[in-house]
Structure 1
Amino acid sequence: MSTDIYRRVENDPKFKELVARRSRLAITLSAIVLVSYYAFMAVVAFAPDVFGKPLWEGSALTIGGPIGALLIIVSWLLTGLYVSRANGEFDRMTQEIVERNA
């Protein structure tokens, strides 16, 4: 591709909007995952009795197990959300940019 096309795409307001929206979504979802994982680890490290309580009396399963599993599931769901937006909204925007600048 020529440098001219690259310059046109970089200067396209739709491209700038695409980059901003995609970055904002990625940063937001990453922050949610990182904060929740680090909060979970902080509780395990500094207040282990919180997650160490059994789910019910006599149970070997503690509260921490289901909460940890929930964190993993939420991470998968957030990944699915990103993929859905990337394959839908962001791909449509990319196609519009390509058609306008081809």
Structure 2
Amino acid sequence: MNDPVVERIQANPKYKELREKRNKLGWTLAVLMLVVYYGYIALIAFDKSFLAQPIGAGVTTLGIPIGMGVIVFTVVITAIYVRKANSEYDTLTAEILKEASK
């Protein structure tokens, strides 16, 4: 594929900047998610008694709020990526496309 527009986009330093920033954030968030998720699974596998501790006088155990924390963490890092994409990455993409169409 030797499309001149594609070649201009790939040669644009802003495109390289966009790719680097997006990849860095994506990998960082992915690693954080893996650490949190697999950390929770490892806690289940290796320290069930810790998660089985009741909270207060009720029947809820410590594992429930920690599991909910994993879910909330997932939503938060997704929101971080979406906000970054909408504020910074979309602007860079529009600039790149504008420069490539000249």
TM value normalised by structure 1? 0.93
**Cα drift, residue 23 of structure 1:** 0.7
What is the 5 A alignment of 1:80-95?
80-95=79-94
| 1:7 matches 2:7 | yes
Q: What percentage of residue pairs aligned between the two structures are identical?
A: 34
Partner of 2:62: 63
Unaligned runs of 5+ in 2: none
**Cα drift, residue 74 of structure 1:** 1.1
Partner amino acid, structure 1, of 2:87: G
Partner of 1:99: 98
**Cα drift, residue 99 of structure 1:** 1.0
CA–CA distance in structure 2, aligned partners of residues 66 and 85 of structure 1:
28
Unaligned runs of 5+ in 1: none
**Root-mean-square deviation over aligned CA pairs:** 1.4
**4+ residue segments displaced more than 6 Å:** none
**Cα drift, residue 59 of structure 1:** 2.1
CA–CA distance in structure 2, aligned partners of residues 6 and 63 of structure 1:
53
Aligned residues: 101
TM value normalised by structure 2? 0.93
